[in-house]
Structure 1
Amino acid sequence: MEQSAGDLLKSKGLRSTAQRRAILTALRGHPHSTASELEARIGVGSPGTGGLSKQGLYNVLDDLTRARLIRCIEPAGSAARYELRVGDNHHHLVCRRCGHIEDVDCTVGTPPCLDPVEDKGFVVDEAEITWWGLCPACRKATAGA
């Protein structure tokens, strides 16, 4: 059973505000959303979001990311994107033509998936992997062109 936005916030010791709940709710069913997409989806400045401003949106995204309630990914050449899928070890496929992103489970299972040749004294606990290519729709469009 999926936890409510309020319960998720409380589980991390955060206050359950209208702004935080609106963003968590807007991410459900819309993984890899940009801040602009979230802004359009929740209606920044509307009463239902507690009058959330654009700067407030970014502040809440930062708070939720720091609390590990959401994950921020930053594919090269793309705006930062946010997702609710946290706490597991997954990676991303990105279409270099349209920017579509898909989650891909890690074959190793536990982080980090890769070990550097030399760790230079670091304790490595995570590896972020992004595969680039063409999604099925863009591949089909390219083949027909």
Structure 2
Amino acid sequence: MPDAATAIRGAGLRVTESRTAVYDALADRPHASADDVFAIVQPRLPVTSRQSVYNALGDFAEAGLVRRIEPAGRAMLFELRVGDNHHHLVCSRCGAVRDVDCVVGHAPCITPADNHGFTVDVAEVTFWGLCPDCATDPH
């Protein structure tokens, strides 16, 4: 994974202290919500506002530097792993998220029964269940 400045410049964005801190936070914690990222960035860069974190995440997503994950009923999550059409496992109890490589073959991995004339590039699949810790805990 490239360092923050290289990745941010490579996405066509200006390198700032706040953007660098947000990138580094996502490198340390994949599948983080905006609030999680802010909680990581704020102690490292006390002058950072919650809004600057949201702005950086939005800029990163628009530039293709991060991927937004939107599990139903959960906060939007962000990750640096982009462009490989991977999928996710989400624990329906604790919310843990794990990456799953492309289900079968090459992107889009799955073919819809009827594509209604669309050219499909990517498929997003979310598998729901219990993580190993929750599966062994009866509560």
TM range (shorter): over 0.9
Give how far 1:109 is off: 4.1
Which residue matches 1:12?
11
Give how far 1:107 is off: 3.4
Q: What amino acid maps onto 2:112 in structure 1? A: P
2:85 to 85, 89, 93: 89
Give how far 1:115 is off: 1.4
Residue 138 (str. 1) matches residue 137 (str. 2): no
Q: What amino acid maps onto 1:14 in structure 2? A: L
> What does residue range 1-145 of structure 1 map to in structure 2 within 5 Å?
2-43=1-42, 48=45, 51-142=47-138
Q: What amino acid maps onto 2:89 in structure 1? A: L
Distance 1:9-1:109 versus aligned 2 partners, 3 A rule? farther
Conserved 8 A contact 1:26-1:38: yes
Conserved 8 A contact 1:89-1:109: no
Give how far 1:16 is off: 0.7
TM-score (norm 2): 0.92
Conserved 8 A contact 1:93-1:103: yes
Q: What amino acid maps onto 1:62 in structure 2? A: G
Give percent identity, aligned residues only.
47
Give how far 1:96 is off: 0.4
Q: What amino acid maps onto 1:11 in structure 2? A: G
Whole-angstrom CA distance in 1 between matches of 2:72 and 2:120: 22
Q: Which runs of 4+ in 1 moved over 6 A?
A: none
- Per-residue CA deviation, residues 110-142 of structure 1 (Å, 9 max, x unaligned), is 211111111122211111000000000001112
Give how far 1:75 is off: 0.3
Q: What amino acid maps onto 2:135 in structure 1? A: R
Q: Which runs of 5+ in 1 are unaligned?
A: none
Give how far 1:10 is off: 1.1
Distance 1:94-1:54 versus aligned 2 partners, 3 A rule? same
- Per-residue CA deviation, residues 19-62 of structure 1 (Å, 9 max, x unaligned), is 11110000113110011111111118x7x36x332222212111
Matched positions, count: 139
TM-score (norm 1): 0.88
Give how far 1:108 is off: 2.4
Conserved 8 A contact 2:85-2:123: no
